[in-house]
Structure 1
Amino acid sequence: MSQHDFLVEIGTEELPPTALKSLRDAFQKGIETFLQAKGLSFANSEAFAAPRRLAVRLTGLSAQGESSKSEKFGPYVNVAIGDDGKPTKAAEGFARSNGVNFEELDRITDEKGERLYFATEVPGAKAVDELPNAIRDSLNKLPIPKRMRWGASRTEFVRPVHWVLTLLDNKSIEADILGVKTNYFTRGHRFHANKEITITSPSAYEATLKEQGKVLANYDERKEMIRQQVLAEAEKLGGQAVIDEDLLDEVASLNEWPTALSGNFDKEFLQVPAEALVSSMKEHQKYFHVLDKDGKLMPNFITICNIESKDPQQVIEGNERVIRPRLADAKFFWDTDLKTPLDSRFEKLDSVRWVQQLGSLKDKSERLMVLASKIATAIGGDAEKAERAAKLCKTDLLSEMVLEFSDLQGLAGRYYAQHDGEDPDVCAAMEEQYMPAFAGDALPQTQTGLALALADRLDSLVGLFGIGQIPTGGKDPFALRRASLGVLRLIVENNLKLDLNELIDWAMDNNWPCDLDADNKSKLIDYMLDRFSAWYQDENIPSVVFQAVRAKGITQPYDINQRVMAVHAFSQLESAEALAAANKRVSNILSKNDAFMDNAKVDNNLLSDAAEKALAESLDKQMQSATPLFEKGEYAQYLTQLTELRQSIDTFFDEVMVMADDEAVKQNRLSLLNQLRNLFLNVADISLL
């Protein structure tokens, strides 16, 4: 069957830069999915994206999909043919529905008898017919939160559409896409080559655009080109460029023909914390910053412009003029904030509402002072430092710097606390309270910051659950999932022997401005522990392993994690499957006889069979040797030790009838199984494996 190359390009006004990559990927995926559903195969698929275009190219596209057989089953013969031997209305209706005469119908026999049957071969879909539909379907499904209309048209898209290129080999497929007639041309760079450019074949697409249109259509190629240009400019300055990947993505989405240029700013601005200057350059101007060999910010920036200027110095000077007032604002905010110590801002927190039913930021800070102090004591930290850090932790939210640059919250507080002469741990805690901010983020390095980070998240979780603000489905306006994961990471990765049950009691037993729903405590604990599921999924640990530990009802995250790791290691052992099955069998026997006992005692005088004596002896031996391992928290070694029971367990079930006629013997054997179950159950419910 013949194969083709295909290209589609949607030409628009400038697309949203932060959404360009996702639009590119979704457009490609949508076309692929549609064609595959139609049975149209292709050898390769490529996606292109630039500020004014989205494109997809397919190679080795089949001209037509495989044909299929359509089968239709009609009424049974006893209903289809009357006593007079003529077809009934049911039979004639079945024939009409298939567009044939009754005589053309076949018959087939199934388990109920003989019935009318009609089969036809349905030709496969043709690529030339389905490609416009694939484009429309994919465009309709793009992840666009809000579509717009332009002119008098009722067509809606993320931005106005000016041209649509479709090429099947060297011919354009005629269609109407988003109100635009398809054609064989694209358009070049808005300034360098603002003209129609003919694309002769899909394979010539990016080369033609590059040579005639001054457009780099390949997003990844353009991104890498920008990276190399930025690094080269920094090297000319004698420094090293700091390339933030999100900024690089955004810049690559803003430029079709990128050119890197470097500029300067006044050294006096270096008196301002580097993070404020970087934030201003990055967020407002999309500049890359440069560090010297000592890792200090240099008075330079690197910008990416979308033209190849004949006089680049004018472009540089224009950027320097633009950045100066931005940095001057940052310096003004910094100088102004230094005049007011953080401590003097505390009372003003009372004017800032945190959550309507939960009081002001001052109320929250006062609760944190109590809670952070308790946690600091529990983890061996300094309670006074934790209390001081909690008092000051939200005061930087009232600073001019944070009001302008919200991403500097905490970091600005650290600088202001240092200027005020606060203790170094208190200063660090100003920033560390927000750690971890995202998956994989660093954790606090001080005990004071750790106590405050835990207290802040626990206060939010307890308060919001207490007033019924419980996340549902995809709605989590207060980021409680992230807060819960943060608490788990802070406890587990710092090896803290803290119990969620106790921590939540501490947080609830505080000066709340409203009555909290105490019934939500168990919901909160369950909700927090459920976050472990995603955690272990990321580590490729089967969910059943966590569920085996969860069945124990433990609320200490560090202990839970230790058990999960031990059970996961145990599950990899050769004996694990057999021992898990044996535990399940034991649980079933005990359950049917309502014979679960925590302190089961076995009467050795009632042991008669060699197999049950051997099991009892093995259990005694393991209790002596394995129990000390369990008490020291060495769960992995404990479970490994118990694998020595496998042989005696297997022999017991092969040779011993648990449900003996003698009631005393039966109960004694159930007690033996209870001892076996409890020995494994110390760590987790192995039967769930």
Structure 2
Amino acid sequence: MAGELLFEIGTEEIPSDYLDNGLAEMKRIAESLLENSRLQVAEPLVALGTPRRLVLLGKGIGPRQEDTVQEIMGPPKKAAFDQQGNPTKAATGFAQKQGVAVGDLQFVETPRGEYLFVRRKIKGRETAEILSELLPRLLSEIPWPKSMRWGGRGFPFVRPIHWLLALYGGKVIPMEIAGIKSGNTTRGHRFMAPATIEVSGVDEYLEKMKASFVILDPRERLTRIEKAVIHAAGSASGSPVLDPELLSTVCNMVEFPSAVCGTFDRGFLRIPDPVLITAMKKHQKYFAVRDEQGRLMPNFVAVNNTLARDETVVTRGHERVLRARLSDADFFFKEDAKRSLQDRLKDLKGVVYQAELGTSYDKVQRFTALAEYLCARIAPQRCSDVRLAATLCKCDLVTGMVMEFPTLQGVMGSEYASIEGRPEEVCRAIYEHYLPERAGGSLPTSVVGATVGVADRMDTLCGFFAIQMEPTGAADPYALRRHALAIIRIIEDQGWSISLKGLI
């Protein structure tokens, strides 16, 4: 227990997409603060957390600061002593200020001549005393995408703080943050073990949290969730679509996960797979299920934050909610099919792309012409496909489906184009022109998709530079650097020999 640090901040639910970075930053800042405070730490700090709590654990932290020697420069020697060698007011004043006798002052040679200086040994402070100052500072320095204030408190934090557990060497570290005083108590799972729990050290804390249905380690929760989801899908003789992003999101939404497998009307399977998967993932945080042939099944897996007394009741609740979501998706899909993509082109005139650069329709006209120019130099036989793909590739932005599920832009355009019987190369290009979606992401596989993608990005770059909205060292709100890198990657991958100056 000696040298142990246990610091837990109990909060209201922290957004799932804030937690991972928040824990990493808490660990980094804490290590920096301890190092700058001359506190020796024998073992690396550990940051754990759930939606309701942030936890910092440390072992082998020294009982006090290291002693240090401080050298303080004083006045020049010629100003500190007169010609007879007697100390002047400058010397006596400096000695008095530093709490030493004039005879203890020393001289040091500098490029500007000799100066007085005093060497003082500063004794290290007690660790508990330092921690009572550092821990509030630690919380104030964690960067969150958004912070809030509550109850008239001036302390900003990601979510309102409900309790503070702060122990060093088994003793409470006295402090107060946002009106909450530190203590030696914590709380278990909100529903399964809500009572106050008293702890005296790290090992006891970890044991009691486990017994109180709180899995502190995000990696352990993630493993449990993955196993539970696979097991639940297996009960329907299927395999879950294990999306890493969804796994991470769900992991940061629960303290004690369990999973159930539900069903939905088989008739919804007529909706394209990406729509079904997105509706389940984005709105409900459910996992889709596939059969042995890779086809979607009329099943889903939901992760709960409790062990259900009656899984049947819980499953029915999930099914009822998902039914409404899929009904919406089915409605949008049917309504969108009533109009062709080409017919929706004129609707882009009502979508402002950028105030000084016009509407999305204006942008389509610009990069369509640029795509034709580029295609004429690299693959003239594909110009008709390039023209059609460029014309249609933004039309799904005004469909009901994409307005409901923005992440499906390009995906739905490709689906609708396929339903209309457009050439396969054009359908693929409508989706691929958005690639790569991120640094190191997949690139377009077709010449048509690559051509439209380069033209679209080049129009964006030239447009924003033309209106003097270039990226700075501090900000790049329109991701212009990413667009520029994507252009270079696509050109290299396709092996084109073209003049970027000519495109510009």
Under TM normalisation by the shorter chain, which class is it?
A: over 0.9
Which residue of structure 1 aligns with residue 182 of structure 2?
Answer: 182
Given that 1:368 and 1:387 are in contact with CA atoms closer than 8 Å, whether structure 2 keeps it comes out as no
Instruction: From the superposition, tell whether residues 85 and 474 of structure 1 become closer, same or farther in structure 2 (CA, over 3 Å).
Output: closer
Letter matched to residue 421 of structure 1: G
Please identify the structure whose Cα radius of gyration is greater. 1
Distance in 2, Cα, partners of 1:351 & 1:110: 75
Map of 2:434 onto structure 1: 434
State how far apart, in whole Å, the 2-side matches of 1:114 and 1:447 are. Answer: 74
RMSD between aligned residues = 1.9
Contact kept, 8 Å, 2:433 with 2:452, in 1: the verdict is yes
After TM superposition, the structure 1 = structure 2 runs for residues 101-500 of structure 1, keeping only pairs within 5 Å, are 101-103=101-103, 105-108=104-107, 110=109, 116-211=116-211, 213-380=212-379, 381-500=381-500
1:595 is aligned to none
1:109 and 1:38, CA in 2 relative to 1: closer, same or farther beyond 3 A?
closer
Alignment check: 8 A CA contact 2:2 2:169 kept: no
1:282–1:119 CA distance, 2 compared to 1 (3 A)? same
Structure 1 distance, partners of 2:465, 2:105, is: 67
Q: 1:106–1:469: structure 2 CA closer, same or farther, 3 Å change rule?
A: closer
Mapped to 1, the partners of 2:270 and 2:89 lie a distance apart of 94
Tell me which amino acid in the other structure corresponds to 1:203: D
Q: Secondary structure at 1:350's aligned position in 2?
A: helix
> Alpha-carbon deviation of 1:85?
5.6
Measured in 2, the distance between the counterparts of 1:248 and 1:352 equals 35
Report the CA distance between 1:124 and its aligned residue: 2.2
Q: What are the Cα deviations for residues 557-592 of structure 1, in whole angstroms up to 9, with x where unaligned?
A: xxxxxxxxxxxxxxxxxxxxxxxxxxxxxxxxxxxx
3-state SS of the aligned residue for 1:226?
A: helix
Q: Is the 8 A contact 1:23 1:143 kept in 2?
A: yes
Task: Kindly provide the amino acid, as one letter, of the partner of residue 65 in structure 2.
Answer: G
Structure 1: which amino acid aligns with 2:200? T
Instruction: Give the counterpart letter for 2:324 in structure 1.
Output: P
Deviation track 1:367-406 (CA, whole Å, cap 9, x = no partner) reads 3332222222322251111111112111111111111111
Partner Cα distance (2:210, 2:416) in 1 = 51
| Identity value in percent | 38
> Which secondary structure does the structure 1 equivalent of 2:59 belong to?
strand
Aligned residues between the structures? 501
More helix by share: 1
> Structure 1 CA distance, aligned partners of 2:210 and 2:130?
30
Q: Shift of the alpha carbon at 1:153?
A: 3.2
Q: What secondary structure, in the 3-state scheme, does the structure 2 residue paired with 1:491 have?
A: helix
- Hey, what's the Cα distance between the residues in 2 that align with 1:113 and 1:397? 73
2 CA distance for matches of 1:272 and 1:166? 53
Deviations 1:464-509 (A, max 9, x none): 22222222223223221111111101100111111101222xxxxx
Distance across 2 between alignment mates of 1:345 and 1:74: 78
Kindly indicate whether the alpha-carbon contact (under 8 Å) linking 2:27 and 2:46 is maintained by their aligned counterparts in 1: yes
**For 1:322, what is the secondary structure of its paired residue?**
helix
The more displaced of 192-201 and 319-328 is 192-201
Shift of 1:76: 4.9
Kept in 1, the 8 Å contact 2:29–2:141? The answer is yes
Q: Structure 1: state its 5+ residue gaps.
A: 505-689
Q: Letter of the aligned partner of 1:207 in structure 2? A: E
Write the letter of the residue equivalent to 2:40.
S
Q: How far apart are 1:225 and its partner, in Å?
A: 1.1
TM-superposed deviation, 1:350: 2.2
Q: Establish whether residue 62 from structure 1 lines up as the match of residue 62 from structure 2.
A: yes
Counterpart CA distance in 1 for 2:429 and 2:219 is: 40
Output the CA distance in 2 between the equivalents of 1:319 and 1:113. 81
Aligned 8 A contact 2:76 2:113 in 1: yes
Structure possessing the higher relative contact order (Cα contacts under 8 Å, 6 or more residues apart): 2
Q: Report SS of the residue matched to 1:435.
A: coil
CA distance in 1 between counterparts of 2:461 and 2:114 reads 67
C-alpha separation between the residues in 2 aligned to 1:179 and 1:500?
60
Paired residue type of 1:364: K
Kept after mapping to 2: 8 A contact 1:264/1:300:
yes
Mean CA deviation greater in 49-58 or 214-223: 214-223
Task: Report SS of the residue matched to 2:22.
Answer: helix
CA contact (8 A) 2:41 2:61 kept: yes
The alpha carbon displacement at 1:119 in A equals 2.0
Which residue pairs with 1:27 in the alignment? 26
Measured in 2, the distance between the counterparts of 1:113 and 1:252 equals 64
SS at the partner of 2:235?
Answer: helix
What is aligned with 1:633? none
State the distance in 2 between where 1:177 and 1:398 align. 48
CA, structure 1 residues 117+315, in 2 after alignment: closer, same or farther (shift >3 Å)? same
Letter in 2 for 1:325: A
Gaps of 5+ in 2: none
Name the stretch that deviates more: 368-377 or 180-189: 368-377
Separation (CA, whole Å) in 1 of partners of 2:77 and 2:472: 56
**Structure-2 change in CA distance of 1:348 and 1:106 (3 Å):** closer
* TM-score relative to the length of structure 2: 0.95
Q: Deviations over 1:107-149 (max 9, x none)?
A: 3353687664432211123211111222112111111243322
User: SS state of the match for residue 166, structure 1?
Assistant: strand
Residue type at the aligned position of 1:409 = Q
| Aligned pairs (5 A) from 1:569-584 | none
**Distance in 1 separating the partners of 2:51 and 2:351:** 41
Amino acid at match of 2:51: P
Contact 1:258/1:304 (8 A) holds in 2: yes
Return the offset for 1:60. 0.6
Structure 1 SS opposite 2:497: coil
Output the CA distance in 2 between the equivalents of 1:335 and 1:114: 88
Is the contact made by 1:39 and 1:125 (CA closer than 8 Å) also made in structure 2? Answer: no
Q: Is the contact between residue 95 and residue 105 of structure 2 (CA under 8 Å) also seen in structure 1?
A: no
**Deviation at 1:271?**
0.3
Q: Please state whether the residue corresponding to 2:21 is helix, strand or coil.
A: helix
